[in-house]
Amino acid sequence: MSNKMWGGRFASGPDAIMEEINASIGFDYRLAAQDIRGSRAHVAMLAEAGIVGREHAQAIARGLDQIQGEIEAGTFVFSRSLEDIHMNIESRLAEIIGPDAGRLHTARSRNDQVAVDFRLWIRDTVDDLDLQMRDLQQALAERALENAGAVMPGFTHLQSAQPVTFGHHLLAYVEMLSRDRGRLADARERLNECPLGAAALAGTSFPIDREATARALGFDRPTANSLDSVSDRDFVLEVLGAAAICAVHLSRLAEEIVLWVTPQFGFVQLSDKFTTGSSIMPQKRNPDAAELVRGKAGRVIGSLNGLMIVMKGLPLTYSKDMQEDKEGAFDALQSLSLCIAAMTGMIRDLAPDLKRMKAAAGAGFSIATDLADWLVRELKMPFRQAHHVTGSLVKLASDRKIGLEKLSLADMQSVEPQITQAVFEVLGVEKSVRSRKSYGGTAPANVRAQAKRWVAKLAKEAAKAG
pLDDT tens sequence across 259-288: 999 999 999 999 999 988 777 876 778 999
Q: Is the pLDDT of residue 130 over 80?
A: yes
The rounded distance, in Å, linking the Cα atoms of 91 and 251 is 44
Q: Which ranges of 261-367 would DSSP assign to H, the alpha helix? A: 288-311, 325-349, 354-361
Q: Which pLDDT band holds residue 2 (cuts at 50, 70, 90)?
A: very low
Please say if 278 is a catalytic residue: yes
Note the pLDDT tens digit of each residue in 85-98.
999 999 999 999 99
Could you tell me the pTM of the whole model?
0.91
**Arithmetic mean of pLDDT, 213-231:** 98
Q: With contact defined as beta carbons under 8 Å apart, do 88 and 67 qualify?
A: no
**Arithmetic mean of pLDDT, 140-157:** 97
The single residue of 157, 205, 279, 438 carrying the catalytic annotation is: 157
Mean pLDDT of the chain: 94
Q: Is the pLDDT of residue 466 over 50?
A: yes
Query: What is the residue-wise DSSP string for 345-376?
Result: HHHHH-EE-HHHHHHHHTGGGTTHHHHHHHHH
What pLDDT does 21 receive? 87
- The conformation of residue 50, written as its DSSP 8-state character, comes to T
Q: Is the pLDDT of residue 5 over 70?
A: no
Cα–Cα distances in Å, from 464 out to 131, 175, 199, 458, 460?
Answer: 12, 21, 38, 10, 6
What pLDDT does 283 receive? 75
Note the pLDDT tens digit of each residue in 418-432.
999 999 988 889 999
Question: Distance between alpha carbon 442 and the CA centroid of its chain, in Å?
Answer: 27
What pLDDT does 18 receive? 81
The single residue of 2, 79, 271, 278 carrying the catalytic annotation is: 278
Label the pairing between strands 193-194 and 221-222: parallel
161's CB contacts (< 8 A; 6+ apart) are 153, 154, 155, 364, 366
Query: What helix, strand, coil percent values describe the chain, rounded to 5?
Result: 70, 5, 25
**Arithmetic mean of pLDDT, 104-123:** 97
What pLDDT does 135 receive? 97
What pLDDT does 280 receive? 80
Q: 311 in the Ramachandran plot: left (φ > 0), alpha (ψ -120 to 50) or beta? A: alpha
Asked which of 46-55, 100-109, 270-279, 341-350 is least confident by mean pLDDT, the reply is 270-279
Please say if 387 is a catalytic residue: no
Q: Which pLDDT band holds residue 14 (cuts at 50, 70, 90)?
A: low
Q: How long is the chain?
A: 466
Q: Is the pLDDT of residue 125 over 50?
A: yes
Amino acid at 114: V
Q: 203 in the Ramachandran plot: left (φ > 0), alpha (ψ -120 to 50) or beta? A: left
Q: Is the pLDDT of residue 321 over 70?
A: yes
What pLDDT does 465 receive? 84
- The conformation of residue 440, written as its DSSP 8-state character, comes to T
Instruction: Assign 341 to helix, strand or coil.
Output: helix
- Residue 186 backbone dihedrals phi, psi, to 5 degrees: -65, -45
**Arithmetic mean of pLDDT, 372-378:** 93
Question: Distance between alpha carbon 395 and the CA centroid of its chain, in Å?
Answer: 45
What pLDDT does 11 receive? 54
What percentage of the chain reaches a pLDDT higher than 70?
97
Amino acid at 81: S
The rounded distance, in Å, linking the Cα atoms of 162 and 368 is 8
What pLDDT does 228 receive? 98
Instruction: Assign 223 to helix, strand or coil.
Output: coil
- The conformation of residue 162, written as its DSSP 8-state character, comes to E
What pLDDT does 22 receive? 82
**Arithmetic mean of pLDDT, 64-70:** 98
Q: Is the pLDDT of residue 141 over 80?
A: yes
What pLDDT does 16 receive? 80
What pLDDT does 276 receive? 84
Q: Which pLDDT band holds residue 19 (cuts at 50, 70, 90)?
A: confident
Asked which of 19-28, 211-220, 374-383 is least confident by mean pLDDT, the reply is 19-28
The rounded distance, in Å, linking the Cα atoms of 440 and 170 is 13
Instruction: Tell which residue, 56, 139, 197, 98, has the closest CA to residue 346.
Output: 139
What pLDDT does 106 receive? 97
Q: Is the pLDDT of residue 3 over 70?
A: no
Instruction: Tell which residue, 32, 34, 33, has the closest CA to residue 24.
Output: 32
Label the pairing between strands 221-222 and 268-269: unpaired
Note the pLDDT tens digit of each residue in 390-401.
999 999 999 999
What pLDDT does 1 receive? 34
Instruction: Tell which residue, 255, 328, 340, 243, has the closest CA to residue 291.
Output: 255
